[in-house]
Amino acid sequence: MNVSLTLVVIMAALFGAGVYAMLERSLTRVLIGFLLLGNATNLLLLIVMGFPGVSPFYGEERRQSDPLPEALMLTAIVITFAVSAFLLALIYRSWQLGQADTVEDDAEDIALRERAADTEDVLDDEEEDADTEDEATTDFVDVAASPLRVLGSKDAPALADDAPVDIPSAEYNRRRDAADPRMAQTDTERTDTGEGDR
């Protein structure tokens, strides 16, 4: 596929001019910038479509263009038309109300901008204060951390790896006592001292 360098240059120029025009305060220039961006997008889709002059579904075996960019181009044309109509309505209403199509800052915008600047200054001051403090802000400084350890029957004879239960049954206690007679003695000592009733 041969891409025309002329189309690429025109597309880049349209994108640049469109973005520049949309950054203006005049709604008419915003509309012109949006139209330029829409046309640049259509050119981009035309460039990526495939071989020029070749139908998407008919042609030589290896020279068929992609039909998806054509569908996207139709969608882009409809979206550009709808947004342009909306911008035209905004321009007309703005001209009716104020005899101008420029977007002006009102008192609320200025107050909001000043509040944002004040908040940013306060946050900057807090960051500077935090940087000057030498004290640690956490309780976990110089505390040695020990890794978690999973206990099993090798570590504690009372744990059974094969059958996790909430309440030990009598059979579990018999198996445990058979495996380690010390556990049976510990249970009888607890019962004798009254700790098992708690």
pLDDT score for 13: 95
Q: What are phi and psi of 88, to 5 degrees?
A: -60, -40
* Structure tokens given for 38: 């829409």
Measured CA to CA in angstroms, residue 198 lies from 139, 165, 167 at distances of 35, 20, 15
The larger pLDDT score, comparing residue 49 to residue 12, is at 12
pLDDT in tens, 22-79: 998 888 899 999 999 999 999 888 888 776 666 666 656 666 777 788 888 889 899 9
Map out the domains of the chain as residue ranges.
Answer: 5-113, 151-191
pLDDT in tens, 119-157: 887 777 777 766 555 555 556 666 566 655 655 666 666
DSSP state of 3: P
Looking at the domain that runs over 5-113, which CATH code has it been given? 1.10.287.3510
Greater pLDDT, 106 or 78: 78
Q: Model confidence over 168-191: pLDDT tens digits? A: 567 767 777 777 776 665 555 555
pTM comes to 0.50
CA-CA-CA-CA torsion sign (56, 59, 65, 70) = negative
Q: What is the pLDDT of residue 34?
A: 93
